[in-house]
Structure 1
Amino acid sequence: MKKLGMADLIHPLTLDAFMARYWQKKPYVGHGSPQRFAEIAAIPELASIDALLEAWRGEADAWAPRDTKNPLINASARQLPAFYESGYTLYLSKVEDHVPALAPIARKLERDLGLRQDDVYFEAFISKGTGSGFHFDPNVTINIQLIGSKQWCVAENKHLVNPHVGWSAGAEINEHMQRYARQPFPTRMPPNCRRFEARPGTLVYLHPGYWHCTLNHEPSLSLLFTINPPSWTDLLMDEIRDLMLKHDDGRELAFGLASTAGHEQKRQRLQHLIEAAGEAVAQLSADDLLADWGGVLTASFERNPQIACRVDAGRSGQDDVLVIQSGRKQERSVLAPDARQVLKWVSARKKSFRGHQAAEATTTVATTRVAEILEQFADAGLILREGSA
């Protein structure tokens, strides 16, 4: 069965038009029947608010109505129905952990957008007679209204771009965000905000930092695709940290920072580490990092022309055996039935391919399993990963 993808979500707008006009530029609002998202609409746990709450097995946040000063409460699954009936908004994160049918849809969107596994996950908002105060998020969200209607107000954020954390009215502003904000944050929604109503089947796309608030006067359930890859800074800092941890002095505890004693020794040590950090950065290669960060499903592979292989069929219910030959060296390993499907597809490739192409071509094999199999083939030398030394 074809999985719901990005093109299906924004239909009848074409994917090229969406990327050119809206992606990371401005909101997109599309109205229509919930049945256009048939794969989601058919999931029993999302058929009603009661069904989702019954399926929920973990904790979730309960947000008090906006006209009260009650605190946010981290509630257990058993408490959630009572908080909902009391007018609280329930915020459920990683919904796919409780509704497994959503997981393959998240993986499909990752492939469509060239993202790594777990860069996309689901959140849900359940409420009646309330909503969310004005705020912005640090990630991309695609919100689908499943049950009830909700009033939206959205506005461009001229105070900053690419926030590394979210913020809501009345909260303390992150100290780093204060440094890169272009102007002080507002105390209310900008007056030029756009207002609209989301009804069952409405889709709302927002990019990071866009101001928005919501209000509903009836039971409401919305499901969010939350698209949250790491930032370039996060990725680079992890790489630099890994390199700096190789220095003995860098791993030493920094005693004496609040004292002037031994100042010259501390200064020299720190200067040495600063120079070492510069040398570490100089070692980094954009090509190598992109190949490493891409993950199996977005990595590019090609058949290794120096390796030959064959499959010896198993006898009497035994597994098939993969025989890999390199020169005079021969290695044998068990070949599971799903791995044989992937091998058959890979063996027919005459040009390079990406991991997600193998996943899309072998639909009877779980995407995560395809990634594992490709890793095994790469480790065995059967395929070569682009950018690998």
Structure 2
Amino acid sequence: MDSGSEEKGAAVAVPPLKPSEKFHLFVSYSSMDATWTHGLIGRLEADHAGLRVCLHERDFTPGRNILENMAECIHQSQKVLLVLSQDFVQSRWCLLEADLSLFGYCLERKPVIPVLLRPCQVPLHLSHLTYLEARDSRFYSKVAQLLCTPSHCMARSLPGPRPGPSLYSGKTLLTLNCVNRDSLPSWKVGTFSTLSVPDPLKEVLPDPEVYKHAVGILNGVQSPRSCLRYLGCRIPLSIFLILLSVISMFLLVIFGIQEIITDQGNHNTAFLLISAIVFLCLLPLVLAVNSLCWFRRFSRRKMREVGLRVGEANLLLAPHSVLMGCETLNQLSFVFVQLEECRRTFLQAPEGDGEALFREALLRFSCAYACCLVQAHFPHCEAAPATQGHLEPGLCFCQYVSVQLERG
């Protein structure tokens, strides 16, 4: 921070603390920006006697959850200062966004001073505010002026109650990782938390039991118990089988073929004996290849099972215009998609019970369809029916099912 080019902040008294307040200013910043932030706070404290600033490394209660510490300190502060940088957006601000139900009450009632230290993507909930640029020659005097301005004269961080996300058909609501995703081996099926409904889903899933039941269905998928799930077992077993096959072939050449060729009396017996020995030699080789390819076969089979379980869950979620998709064994995606028009198309089908056809389609295809919506990519779109669909852009659910059935 270049203090030489800045105007010295006027020594105006900061507003007194109310009985419920402990700090004049709560400062949140990335550890990468600590040196710059401490320099700014040190100067403010030197110029304003009695100024109380909350910094996480010195004022958070040890042993408490960081989110609880942040919420309590924001509540006990007059104002909030955020030092914005790409490091901050990716670390510190994501904690706030992780549970806006916890911070929404605090941030709606606290003035926020956003300081742009380095160019970054300004968080959506701060985009309506005018931020201060650290490179501005009058930056310090502006910060000091805002610090001394009564809270009721400043804009709040959120303009009224926290707005819900704008919903449209095909919108991705949430990507949910399983519990302890980073420590899970690649062959293990993830387990997803059902303790509470994530914030992005609360607007469309008001009943938490629907979410818990739907995710609980997926949690019922079992991981394999075979020892082949371990790479340390598959590789030694494959090496042993390959060596066994090589040794068998070598013994065949040394002891078998010469005697069989010299036996001119019975060609049929010789042919059968050669065939049997070759088969016994190739069998360990085939078993070795199958052992090495076990994980790929398991993954395909397990993903099919997971897809069917997701389809069962989507039978519960579809009436709420939500579909679940699962591209890997440890990550879920939720999309908002309106299916009523597609359901009516199934009801008009001449083949039979339209409602049963719709449920069968949800079971078989809803998981893959949700994944296509998340990726905004529909393979084989050229095979889509020429009729107008119910989703733009992309394929609606009934069109997607039609394409999949035509492909077999």
Give the TM bin, normalised by the shorter chain: under 0.3
Q: Which has the higher helix share?
A: 2
Which structure exhibits the higher relative contact order, with contacts defined as CA atoms closer than 8 Å and separated by 6 or more residues? 1
The structure with the larger Rg is 2
Q: Which has the higher strand share?
A: 1
TM-score, normalisation: structure 1: 0.26
TM-score, normalisation: structure 2: 0.25
